Amino acid sequence: MDNFTFQNTTKIIFGKGSENNVGQEVSKYSKKILLHYGGGTIKKTGLYDRVVTSLKDAGVDFIELGGVKPNPRLSLVQEGIKICRENSIGFILAIGGGSVIDSSKAISIGSLYSGDVWDFYLGKSEITAALPIGTILTIPAAGSESSTGSVITNEDGFYKRAVNSELIYPKFSILNPELAFTLPKYQVACGSADIMAHLMERYFTNSEHVELMDRLIEATLKTVINNVTQVLDKPDNYDAWAEIMWSGTVAHNNLLNTGRVGDWGSHDIEHELSGIYDVAHGAGLAVIFPAWMKYVYKHDINRFAQFAVRVFNVENSFWSPEKTAIEGIKRLENFFKSLGLPTNLKELGIIDDRLDEMASKATNSDLSTVGNFIKLGKSDVYSILKLAK
């Protein structure tokens, strides 16, 4: 097990009706806030009205900025920064999924920085200050509700880039599984694929003697697999949603990263897909992850065989761990298919050939590598994209 420091500072407020006290929670930080949300689902479901009532009851003034698109854009972030600066905003409340939360995080760091917020995403500047943010999560998926990450797309060149800092842990996140009842089936599937990918990125590691985390990751994967089919059958199954929502947070709050180095190559490659083609991140991962697995499994066949046996109940073939490993990858692919997800680029709607461009962008024209399990250069990324075709 590797040395580690672990501290996740996000307070989780979980359960039915938990959003109704958001005003009190927010007022601990500021009485003047930015209310940030997406394309309007929260208005249709009545969540917006409940939040506004709670804020008013707590004497919190707000300015609102809606319109965050999936794969959130830099231009709206810039608009948010302007609003925060001009109105001395002291707190940002994000209502939505990973896109709204990531956009809020970007606004929070940009508001207190004199330069261009994109500097952080290019690694040109270190984050030293951030406005506090809180979230009300409406889709279990990205894990941004208690992660150090923010992923933004710059429309100038369609670069999708991430930044990480402990300063952008949300102060609190409200998780009410009831809020997920209205999700379209496709978003349910995409969210589950993303949660599973966060677990698998951590699972495929070169760190040794990491049994506790292996077992916790396997348990979380099995929980998602067992419950996602239940919510697809019955969208108002609270108990199944509760399992998935908590799994989504646990999958990405860094606990399951302790003592080990995760991979993250599939995420870096996928960000080029969703950056250029604006596809859902989870759908992109359903295509890229199995292709990555096929490309790298020989590096540690026993770990892949363990995954197959423990997560997908593949019978352990002692005379051929490779056969077991390959069967595990196949079952993962079939599981994604059963959720209605694409498992190749064509099914994802990508028929033109920009593989070279994506491989180049992911590896900074071969000047850097992606992933840790095996460090992948441009030609490796190109081969993985080809396998995904």
CB of 252 to Zn ion, least distance (A): 7
CA distance 269 to 362: 6
Our finding on whether 144 is near ligand NZQ (CB under 6 A) is yes
Question: Which residue from 19, 25, 102, 214 is in contact with ligand NZQ, where contact means CB under 6 A?
Answer: 102
Our finding on whether 380 is near Zn ion (CB under 5 A) is no
CB of 110 to Zn ion, least distance (A): 22
Q: How far is CA 259 from CA 202, 254, 301, 360, in A?
A: 11, 10, 21, 31
Residues from 211 through 240 that contact ligand NZQ (CB under 6 A)? none
CA distance 42 to 139: 12
Binding part of the chain for ligand NZQ, among 37-45, 211-219, 221-229, 369-377 by CB under 6 A, reads 37-45
Residue 310 contact partner, candidates ligand NZQ, Zn ion, none, CB within 5 to 8 A by sort of partner: none
Binding part of the chain for ligand NZQ, among 98-106, 209-217, 224-232, 362-370 by CB under 6 A, reads 98-106
- Sole residue written with tokens 């707000």: 62
Q: Which residue lies nearer to ligand NZQ by CB, 148 or 369? A: 148
Residues 6+ apart with CB under 8 A from 260: 1, 2, 202, 205, 207, 210, 213
Structure tokens of 34? 């930015």
Q: Which residue lies nearer to Zn ion by CB, 194 or 272? A: 194
Our finding on whether 349 is near ligand NZQ (CB under 6 A) is no
Binding part of the chain for ligand NZQ, among 51-59, 180-188, 217-225, 315-323 by CB under 6 A, reads 180-188
CA distance 85 to 80: 9
Q: Which of 204, 180, 202, 203 is nearest to 192 (CA)?
A: 180
Our finding on whether 321 is near ligand NZQ (CB under 6 A) is no
CB of 2 to Zn ion, least distance (A): 22
Total residues belonging to the chain? 389
Our finding on whether 179 is near ligand NZQ (CB under 6 A) is yes
DSSP SS3 for 27:
helix
Residues from 172 through 231 that contact Zn ion (CB under 5 A)? 194
Our finding on whether 248 is near ligand NZQ (CB under 6 A) is no
DSSP SS3 for 343:
coil
Q: Which residue lies nearer to ligand NZQ by CB, 151 or 384? A: 151
Binding part of the chain for ligand NZQ, among 49-57, 126-134, 138-146, 380-388 by CB under 6 A, reads 138-146
Our finding on whether 142 is near ligand NZQ (CB under 6 A) is yes
Question: Which residue from 18, 104, 138, 227 is in contact with ligand NZQ, where contact means CB under 6 A?
Answer: 138
CA distance 152 to 118: 9
Phi/psi at 159 (5° precision)? -90, 125
CB of 351 to Zn ion, least distance (A): 24
Residues from 274 through 313 that contact ligand NZQ (CB under 6 A)? 274, 281-282
Residues 6+ apart with CB under 8 A from 57: 23
Within a 13 Å sphere around the CA of 63, how many CA atoms are in the beta-carbon half? 15
CA distance 173 to 169: 10
Spatial contact of 33 and 62, defined as CB atoms under 8 Å apart: yes
Q: Which of 262, 246, 137 is nearest to 195 (CA)?
A: 246
Question: Which residue from 23, 38, 170, 328 is in contact with ligand NZQ, where contact means CB under 6 A?
Answer: 38
Residue 134 contact partner, candidates ligand NZQ, Zn ion, none, CB within 5 to 8 A by sort of partner: none
Q: How far is CA 382 from CA 151, 245, 295, 354, in A?
A: 23, 34, 11, 10
Q: Which residues bind Zn ion (CB under 5 A)?
A: 194
Q: Which residues bind ligand NZQ (CB under 6 A)?
A: 38-41, 70-71, 96-100, 102, 138-139, 141-144, 147, 149-151, 179-180, 182-183, 187, 191, 194, 252, 267, 274, 281-282
